[in-house]
Amino acid sequence: MNLNDPEKAQEALERALESGNSKTIANVAMANIWPLLSRHPVQLTAAITTLPGPVLERYPVLRVLHPLTPVLARTTHPFKPLVYLDDARGISPEELDFLTVAQIMAFRISGDVAASLVYARRLEHRITQVRVESREHPEGPLWFFQQQIGSTLLAAGNTSRALTKFATMRQLARVAKHRDAERMALGLEALAHAVRGSNSEADRALADAAQLPQPSAVHLESANSLERTAAALVGIDRMDPHLDTLVEALSPYDSVELTWPFALLARCRASLAYQQPEDALEAIYLANAAHPAQHGSFATDVVTAMSVKSFIALGSLTQARQSAEMKPNAGTQTALARVKLLLHECRYEEAGQELRQCSADHALGPIQRAETVLLLGWLELARDGVVDHDTAIQIARIAHKRDNRRLLALVPRQLVDHVATQLPPNLAEEFRASTSGVNSFQMRSQPVLTNSERRVLNALLVHSTTASIAAAFHVSPNTVKTQLKSLYRKLDCSTREEAIKAATRLHLIDVEDSITQNAS
């Protein structure tokens, strides 16, 4: 294979195109794949589009580069190339590198990020264990390999490891003087930092990218999508006054770019910040319908987490619970959304357990760590009636940082007010200034029921009249009426059906007790 001579590759492709023979064009394109892809991508794409389907089937590297491949991945026939061991033995090391890259890209495009990760690890192993001299040439494909490995890690939600790959990609691209690749690497770094909430690092990467020339036409859309998505995520965290403009600049819902789940995250966060959960759910529906199922991906994490948070904002805890249970282990975003749901459901013991698991994840970014502290403060206030002093100090520090402005609207107003009372006067004044104008919601605490009220509540499931409840407990109907009146007041309702619904939502129903009553 010719991996380092772009002029020779271009001349060979021109001769092949003049021959008009599809197989010759495919052979020449494959033999010169890297210099054509890196330096003559327009000519390579044009040549690939001339090839008939049966020829492309025998050249998976060319097929994955065909512009229709990501579009057709939405159909029931996604492209997932497999190579058997016997076939691989006759392939040169250079060809095997690119075949592995094709598998990484094809499975990722088809939505199977888990399988794409397997091939990414395989390529990573080859790079470190199988020496190929042309691969390490300044004009070689090593930066491209790092890009594909890092992009799959990013698509899987592993932002910390992805950043390492993108940094290597940027350094290699700079040595190769490949400005498009360098700018793409900076865009990828900015996006990974923005997802983690390392917004100053995202700002720096975006500023460095802006100093480079505009990418060529073939890379322009991808580079713009990366940079605009990163800028939108940063702006939303800070509740930028120009937030609408940042969201409008995002790629459309049906984009085939790597950025689509990150753009969806930005859209949903913006809608929830504006208290428009209906718009968030619509964005989720449109984006989810436009892409194949995403196995083991950040996309699944985003769809699940944002669905849970949107239903919570709508007051539909039942649907939020259904969404949370469909993909319980989708990722960090979902884990934090589940904790928030448990707090709304007043299930404090479970919320504490899941929050401890989230906090133990060493790969969390700054924004996720800040969210765990805010959720801890919420848990302490709801469960204990008071926030620990150290937690209050941490919350004050979080509020002081402008990158956490969005998060402050996700916690109850009672928490904000209570923390202010726990702080020294100078910190309390700063905290109030930092949280002024934040549109927090009012926390609804779980009502405390007496034993009699709880017994009557459970009886509502099996008895339809006051008289039948009184007979079951051997008390007068007036006693039951008094207990029901107190129960309805605490549950903020006026009918049996409303009481059962409210108690179910707040997990006040004792199922075993109800079964026992029914049996008796």
343-351: long-range contacts, CB 8 A cutoff, minimum separation 24: 343/375, 343/378, 343/379, 343/382, 344/312, 344/317, 344/320, 344/444, 345/317, 345/321, 345/505, 345/506, 345/507, 346/382, 346/445, 346/446, 346/506, 346/507, 347/507, 348/379, 348/382, 348/383, 351/375, 351/379
For residue 359, what pLDDT is reported?
96
Cα–Cα distance measured from residue 185 to residue 226, given in angstroms and rounded to the nearest whole number: 10
In a 3-state reduction of DSSP, which class is residue 376?
Answer: helix
Are 29 and 61 in contact by the 8 Å Cβ rule? The answer is: no
Q: What is the pLDDT along the chain (520 residues), one digit of tens a residue?
A: 899 899 999 999 999 999 999 999 999 999 999 999 999 999 999 999 999 999 998 999 999 999 999 988 877 677 888 776 666 677 889 999 999 999 999 999 999 999 999 999 999 999 999 888 888 888 899 999 999 999 999 999 999 999 999 999 999 999 999 999 999 999 999 999 999 999 999 999 999 999 999 999 999 999 999 999 999 999 999 999 999 999 999 999 999 999 999 999 999 999 999 999 999 999 999 999 999 888 889 999 999 999 999 999 998 988 999 999 998 888 999 999 999 999 998 899 999 999 999 999 999 999 999 999 999 999 999 999 999 999 999 999 999 999 999 999 888 999 999 999 999 999 999 999 999 988 777 776 667 788 899 899 999 999 989 999 999 999 999 999 999 999 999 888 999 999 998 888 777 876 444 444 444 4
The answer to whether 409 and 439 have CB atoms below 8 angstroms apart is: yes
Residue type at position 513 = D
Shortest CA distance to 300 belongs to which of 292, 190, 237, 309?
292
CA distance 85 to 378: 55
Q: Is 385 left (phi over 0), alpha (psi -120 to 50) or beta?
A: left
Cα–Cα distance for residue pair 46/49, rounded to 1 Å: 5
CATH code for 451-519? 1.10.10.10
Which burial class, exposed, middle or buried, applies to 200 when counting CB atoms under 10 A from its CB (0-12, 13-18, 19+)? exposed
Note the helical H segments in 50-109.
53-57, 60-65, 69-72, 85-88, 93-109
Q: Position 233: which residue type?
A: L
Q: Measure the CA–CA gap between 239 and 270, rounded to whole angstroms.
A: 9
Return the CATH class of domain 6-214+223-231.
Answer: mainly alpha
Residue whose structure tokens are 């107190």: 486
What is the radius of gyration, based on Cα positions, of the chain? Answer: 29
Spatial distance between the Cα atoms of 3 and 31, rounded to a whole number of angstroms:
8
Q: Which of 411, 112, 294 is nearest to 104 (CA)?
A: 112
